[in-house]
Chains A and B, each alone.
Chain A
């Protein structure tokens, strides 16, 4: 069986290099049969696309999609320097 670290690295590489995602900042952890995705993305569609690309790169694992969508607020405060 392939060591989980190599699986995680392959998924991370796929997320960065796949034209559909090109996401560099996603944390990928493999624990047993589960693959965890963590980090922040810009919208719901990307959140799902990333899970799709990850599951293609690691078939057979259950993808736990813990990515959160960044909620862009309108700025209220300013910082005085």
Chain B
């Protein structure tokens, strides 16, 4: 069976933007079986903006799974926003997994916000001041939780949903100096160790859609400005047909 995954990140909905994105979701059930949201759903992470997100993505004819992004953390209300979304039937991952039955196949989605640190050979390490250690440690803890969630995942198809990028391929177009703030190879390392069919992320608005991990897992940057379309649709199936 085919499994069509619609995905978008960085819709950055403000309180003045209610309904504007929703208009693009009409008929999504004809194009995809599930919609994944790769974080930065709001501009400032306020509860008012969280409400706009809920109204924009609730009661769609297909399941919706989301992670939050750095903007959604800006007002220190990520847990409250996630709770509002869950209340409306939107799954929100926080370094854990969800398994859905889609057309008789089990789709497992693992993920969370992710974090930065940079890419192999050009990255921060847990050394020196506590502030640097805390930064690197945050990413390490996240990568460890993803590794565990993937190890324990029982599903036919495995997708990782993140806000930050696990690879630098999909950052092409961004200034290289800010790569450490856009993602971390530790995320890719954890995913490569346990295996997945596809990785989706956002955050890098000026990046590139397509990339691949060192072990060959496809990575797609679905930030709205990168896609230039309301969402990307990725079809996973063994026989090359959809």
Contacts and interface: CB of A to CB of B under 8 A. Distances in A.
Contacts of B41: none
B166 to A, nearest CB: 17
B94 interface: no
A73 B232 contact: no
A42 interface: yes
B98 interface: no
User: Top 7 A-B pairs ranked by shortest CB distance?
Assistant: A78-B233, A25-B205, A40-B225, A73-B229, A75-B229, A80-B235, A70-B225
Contact of A78 (B4, B16, B225): B4
Give the interface size class of chain A.
Answer: 20 to 34
Interface in A17-40: 19, 22, 24-25, 39-40
B240 A80 contact: yes
Contacts of A80: 235, 237, 240-242
A43 interface: yes
Interface of A: 19, 22, 24-25, 39-40, 42-43, 45, 70-81
Given A71-B228, A75-B229, A45 B198 contact: no
A81 B236 contact: yes
B17 interface: yes
Contact of A81 (B6, B12, B197, B230): B197
A81 B235 contact: yes
B77 to A, nearest CB: 15
B74 interface: yes
Interface in B18-55: 20-21, 24, 31, 43-44
A79 B198 CA distance: 12
Given A71-B228, A75-B31, A22 B74 contact: yes
A19 B44 CA distance: 8
B201 interface: no
B234 interface: yes
Contacts of A79: 220, 232-235
A72 B197 contact: no
B218 interface: yes
A74 B228 contact: no
A23 to B, nearest CB: 9
A29 B228 CA distance: 25
B12 A75 contact: no
A78 B229 contact: no
Nearest to A46: B14
